[in-house]
């Protein structure tokens, strides 16, 4: 097959039988530009900023055409990329559909479940939540949950927990926090029904053990 | 309205010829505020400032690494701390140079390129936050723009070296100095619009009518956020179902309606402070701080007019001071010397 047949064009528009939105988006943009450039008057208006009226020559500096195109290109990349992500409801950082706080992800009573690390002290063995950001920075409570969630059910969970324990120890040694010495680190799935006093912060509805890692390197699941 | 007149208006919005002052001042404010922010917050605000120290990510285990799209596409790995320290230092220097306008072309480009990598790093460990995307786009726009043509060391050097009178003059008004600022406005409006529409898309009007906002407010005090709320007022608001819904409605209206600021100058007086207040409110009530986005809203201020107004005030004060001085001198001259009886006049020294 040395000729380009109609299948090629069909494939271009309907890649793998799926309506290819990226391509259609691009085709629409090109069509719009074609409409502008095929019309002489519109073309003149488009290039308007790169020309000056004869009377303004000494008071206004026109934009070179390549600069005009560069400005449009930057705007097209940023705005086009962002609207494409919005249309596709996906996030391809630094483009985004900005979905923060968009989802109603809790029942009417607001019950929610998160992963939380607890430190366990040696002699006497006391468990306390590692809920202050300085215990495990640069992770914060928001990022750490997602980062740990992705490793649950995998061999890597022990490595992830070990990294957290080492981080806690290193930050403690450097004086970033004044937390106690730990003998182990436990990961729980914790559920709360929030109240407007946050009075049950230390008494969650339930806790489900997920894994534990010890200072000597051993782990448990 | 014909397509031609729409295009004319379009051209006027993007490329109206203006002097380079506003763009130059916007450059100083954007890069200056970000330089101060990224250099000083890790020292001044211990509880959350470490977010702005990107070098800390160099010693985090690779098991957490899930690169964001751009870093994955470019196959950029997480570099060790020593490398990140160098990149971060160069980046901060570039922010400073961009602010003062020295080697502006290079420094703004470095601010953007290194900024993309550094800001992409934290987002590649666990979760994408949306604090700095507007800043990244603003850096890109500034890097492509001619923001160093005024209020910069480069401009001073160019004038000093200029051999002809034309070369020593300020650049003429041009569309070059309009589109960058207006593009940052548009990106800002787009981000808020998309954030508002995302809420409507995923939750509909239930986002306002249910207890969703109340739940978010309460949840913030269970240590789930990237930063702790600055106050406990969120819990107070959460005590009232209606008040929480009112906040939700206000936030949604601001986000969706912010785009009006592009077309109406009057609305800017309400909408721009409105979104700044909203984002400050999020930090106060729920924790996440959008300080970079807040600073980018400064691009809505016509800084050239502000500076002209300030300069006018200073001139007025100096002028009125001079007048007062002249008047006082006149008054002093007009005061007749007291005629003291039997007091001999001092002999003239002349």
Give domain limits for chain B. Answer: 20-154, 183-305
Domain span at residue A137 reads 112-220
Instruction: Check residue B285 and give its pLDDT.
Output: 95
Nearest to B292 by CA among B133, B183, B97: B133
In a domain, A189, yes or no: yes
- Split into its structural domains, chain A has a count of 2
d(CA B154, CA B142) in angstroms, rounded, equals: 15
Inter-chain residue contact A138 with B175, CB threshold 8 Å = no
Facing residue for B130 by CB, picked from A98, A110, A163:
A98
Whether residues A138 and B122 touch (CB distance < 8 A) is answered with yes
A217 Rama sector, left if φ>0, alpha if ψ -120 to 50, beta otherwise: left
Q: Which residue has the tokens 């809420």?
A: B199
Count CB neighbours of A177 within 10 A.
Answer: 15
Q: How far apart are CA B177 and CA B310, in angstroms?
A: 22
Instruction: Go through chain B and tell me how many residues it has.
Output: 350
Does A69 reside within a domain?
A: yes
Pairing of strands A127-129, A112-120: antiparallel
- pLDDT (0 to 100) of residue B192: 96
Q: Which residue has the higher pLDDT, A219 or A70?
A: A70
Question: B211, B242 in Cβ contact below 8 A?
Answer: no
Cβ of A198 within 8 Å of Cβ of B222? The answer is yes
Q: Which residue has the higher pLDDT, A153 or B62?
A: B62
Residue B76 banded pLDDT, cuts 50, 70, 90: very high
Q: Are A205 and A118 contained in the same domain?
A: yes
Inform me whether the pLDDT recorded for A19 exceeds 90.
no
Which chain B residue lies closest to A41 (C-alpha atoms)? B4
Verify whether the Cβ–Cβ distance A93 to B133 is below 8 Å: yes
Average confidence (pLDDT) over A105-131 = 91
B203: tokens are 């939750």
**Cβ distance of A97 and B46 shorter than 8 Å:** no
Provide CB contacts within 8 A for A210, sequence distance 6+. A115, A152, A157, A187, A188, A189, A221
- Contact assessment for residue B134 and residue B194, using Cβ atoms and an 8 Å cutoff: no
Per DSSP, the three-state class of A60 is coil
> DSSP string of A68-108?
HHHHHHHHIIIIIHHHHHHHHT---TTS----TT----S-T
The percentage of residues in chain A with a pLDDT greater than 70, rounded to a whole number, is 86
C-alpha distance from residue B338 to each of B328, B329, B342, B347 (Å): 18, 17, 12, 17
Q: Cα(A146)–Cα(A135) distance, rounded to whole angstroms?
A: 17
Q: Give the residue from A98, A130, A201 with the most B CB atoms within 10 Å of its CB, the best one to mutate.
A: A98
Categorize the per-residue pLDDT at B22 as very low, low, confident or very high, splitting at 50, 70 and 90: very high
User: Whole-number mean pLDDT of chain A?
Assistant: 85
In chain B, the residue whose alpha carbon lies closest to the alpha carbon of A77 is B137
Find the CB nearest A138 among B56, B201, B212. B56
Domain final residue pick, A88, A104, A139: A88
Hey, which residues does A208 pair with through a beta bridge?
A: A189
Q: Which pLDDT tens digit goes with each residue over A127-140?
A: 999 999 889 999 99
Asked if A82 and A123 sit in the same domain, the reply is no
Which chain A residue's Cα is nearest to B64? Answer: A147
| pLDDT average, residue stretch A174-182 | 93
In angstroms, how far is CA A115 from the centroid of its own chain? Answer: 19
Closest to B121 (Cα-Cα) out of B67, B64, B42, B83 = B67
Tokens of B281: 């409110």
Residues of chain A in contact with residue B197, where contact means CB-CB under 8 angstroms, are 86
Per-residue pLDDT, A22: 67
Whether residue A59 and residue B172 make contact (CB cut-off 8 A), yes or no, is yes
- A203 shares a domain with A130: yes
Residue of chain B minimizing CA distance to A132: B223
Residue A159 lies in a domain: yes
A17 and A116 housed in the same domain: no
A122, A131, A147, A117: which is closest to A207 by C-alpha?
A: A117
Query: With an 8 Å Cβ cutoff, is A16 touching chain B?
Result: no
Q: Which two tokens stand for residue A123?
A: 């002699």
- For A105, which residue in chain B has the nearest alpha carbon? B212
Using DSSP bridges, classify how beta strands A127-129 and A206-214 pair: parallel, antiparallel or unpaired.
Answer: unpaired
Confidence of residue A13 (pLDDT cuts 50, 70, 90): low
Interface test with B, best of A44, A48, A71 (most B CBs within 10 A): A71
Q: Is there a single domain that holds both residue A117 and residue A214?
A: yes
- How many angstroms separate the CA atoms of A177 and A107, rounded? 36
Contact A79 B56 (CB under 8 A): no
How far is it, in rounded angstroms, from Cα B102 to Cα B85?
A: 23
Is the sign of the CA dihedral B162, B164, B166, B168 positive or negative?
A: positive
Residues 134-173 of A with CB under 8 A from B: 134, 137-148, 150-151, 156, 159-160, 162-163, 167
Cβ–Cβ below 8 Å for B201 and A89: yes
CB contact under 8 A, A94 and B4: no
**Whether residue A215 sits in one domain with residue A134:** yes
Query: Could you tell me if A177 and A135 are in contact, meaning their C-beta atoms sit under 8 angstroms apart?
Result: yes
Question: Rounded to an integer, what distance in angstroms lies between the CA atom of residue B142 and that of residue B32?
Answer: 13
Structural domain includes residue A95: no
For residue A18, name the pLDDT band (cuts at 50, 70, 90): very low
pLDDT tens sequence across A50-103: 887 666 667 888 999 999 999 999 999 999 899 889 988 899 999 999 998 888
Closest Cβ opposite residue B140 in set A74, A132, A143: A74
Same domain for A119 and A65, yes or no, is no
How many other β-carbons are positioned within 10 Å of the β-carbon of residue A31? 10
CA distance A95 to A180: 42
Do A52 and A138 belong to one domain? no
Segment among A44-48, B10-14, B97-101 with least mean pLDDT: A44-48
DSSP result, B174-219 = BGGGTHHHHHHHHHHHHHHHHHHHHHHHHHTTHHHHSSHHHHHHHH
Tokens coding A32? 């719009």
Q: Which residues neighbour A163 within 8 Å (Cβ) at sequence distance 6 or greater?
A: B60, B61, B63, B64
Asked if B228 lies within 8 A of A99 by C-beta distance, the reply is no
- Residue B188 token pair: 């800002």
CB atoms within 10 A of CB B285: 23
Distance from C-alpha of A90 to C-alpha of A83, rounded to nearest angstrom:
10
Q: Which of A58, A65, A94 is nearest to A78 (CA)?
A: A94
Alpha-carbon gap: A13 to the closest alpha carbon of chain B (Å):
24
Q: How far apart are CA B326 and CA B321, in angstroms?
A: 9
Say if residue A153 is in the same domain as residue A118: yes
Q: Does A193 touch chain B (CB under 8 A)?
A: no
Bridge partners of residue A209, in order along the sequence? A188
Locus of tokens 């008040």: B243
The reply to whether A116 and A198 lie within a common domain is yes
CB contact under 8 A, A48 and B3: no
- Residues counted in chain A: 221
* Contact in structure between B76 and B65 (CB atoms under 8 Å): no
Residue A71 Cα to chain centre, angstroms: 27
User: Rounded to whole angstroms, what are the CA distances from A133 to B10, B48, B50, B236, B284?
Assistant: 47, 8, 10, 24, 17
The pLDDT score that the predictor gives to residue B348 is: 42
A188 neighbors A135 (Cβ within 8 angstroms): no
- Read off the pLDDT band of B166 (50, 70, 90): confident
Whole-Å CA distances, A99 to A61, A73, B202, B280? 42, 26, 9, 19
**Top-confidence residue, B27 or A38:** B27
């Amino acid at each position: 097959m040395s000729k380009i047949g109609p299948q090629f064009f069909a494939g271009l528009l309907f890649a793998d039988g799926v309506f290819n939105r990226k391509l259609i988006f691009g085709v629409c943009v090109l069509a719009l530009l074609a409409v502008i450039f095929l019309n002489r008057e519109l073309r003149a208006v488009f290039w308007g900023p790169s020309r000056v009226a004869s009377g303004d020559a000494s008071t206004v500096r026109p934009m070179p055409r390549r600069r005009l195109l560069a400005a449009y290109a930057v705007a097209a990349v940023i705005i086009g990329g962002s609207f494409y992500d919005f249309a596709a409801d996906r996030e391809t950082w630094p483009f985004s559909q900005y979905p923060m706080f968009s989802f109603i992800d809790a029942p009417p009573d607001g019950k929610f479940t998160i992963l939380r690390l607890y430190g366990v002290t040696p002699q006497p063995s006391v468990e306390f939540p590692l809920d202050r950001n300085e215990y495990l920075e640069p992770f914060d409570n928001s990022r750490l949950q997602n980062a740990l969630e992705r490793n649950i059910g995998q061999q890597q969970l022990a490595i992830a927990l070990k990294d957290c324990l080492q981080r806690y120890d290193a930050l403690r040694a450097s004086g970033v926090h004044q937390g106690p010495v730990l003998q182990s680190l436990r990961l729980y799935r914790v559920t709360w029904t929030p109240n407007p006093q946050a009075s049950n912060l230390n008494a969650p509805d339930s806790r489900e053990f997920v894994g534990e890692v010890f200072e000597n390197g051993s782990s448990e699941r | 309205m014909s397509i031609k007149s729409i295009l004319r208006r379009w051209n006027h919005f993007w490329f109206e010829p203006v002097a380079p002052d506003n763009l130059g001042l916007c450059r100083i404010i954007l890069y200056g505020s970000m330089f101060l922010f990224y250099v000083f917050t890790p020292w001044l605000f211990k509880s959350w400032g470490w977010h702005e120290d990107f070098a800390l990510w160099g010693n985090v285990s690779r098991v957490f690494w899930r690169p964001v799209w751009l870093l994955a596409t470019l196959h950029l790995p997480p570099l060790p701390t020593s490398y990140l320290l160098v990149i971060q230092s160069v980046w901060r220097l570039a922010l400073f140079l961009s602010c003062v306008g020295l080697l502006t072309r290079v420094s703004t480009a470095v601010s953007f390129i290194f900024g993309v990598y550094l800001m992409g790093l934290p987002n590649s460990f666990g979760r994408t936050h949306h604090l700095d995307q507007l800043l990244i786009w603003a850096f890109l726009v500034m890097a492509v723009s001619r923001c160093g043509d005024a209020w910069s060391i480069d401009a001073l050097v160019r004038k000093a070296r200029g051999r002809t009178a034309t070369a020593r003059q300020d650049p003429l008004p041009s569309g070059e100095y309009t589109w960058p600022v207006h593009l940052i406005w548009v990106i800002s409006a787009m981000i808020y619009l998309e954030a508002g529409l995302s809420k409507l898309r995923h939750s509909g009007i239930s986002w306002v009518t249910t207890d969703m906002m109340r739940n978010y407010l309460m949840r913030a005090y269970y240590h789930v956020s990237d930063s702790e709320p600055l106050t406990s007022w969120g819990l107070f608001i959460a005590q009232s179902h209606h008040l929480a819904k009112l906040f939700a409605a206000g936030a949604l209206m601001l986000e969706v309606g912010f785009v009006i600021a592009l077309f109406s100058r009057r609305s800017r007086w309400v909408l721009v402070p409105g979104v700044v207040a909203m984002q400050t409110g999020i930090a106060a009530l729920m924790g996440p701080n959008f300080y970079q986005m807040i600073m980018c809203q400064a691009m809505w201020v016509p800084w050239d007019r502000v500076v002209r107004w300030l300069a006018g005030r200073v001139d007025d004060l100096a002028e009125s001071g001079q007048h007062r001085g002249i008047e006082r001198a006149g008054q002093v001259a007009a005061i007749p010397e007291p005629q003291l009886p039997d007091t001999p006049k001092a002999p003239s020294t002349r």
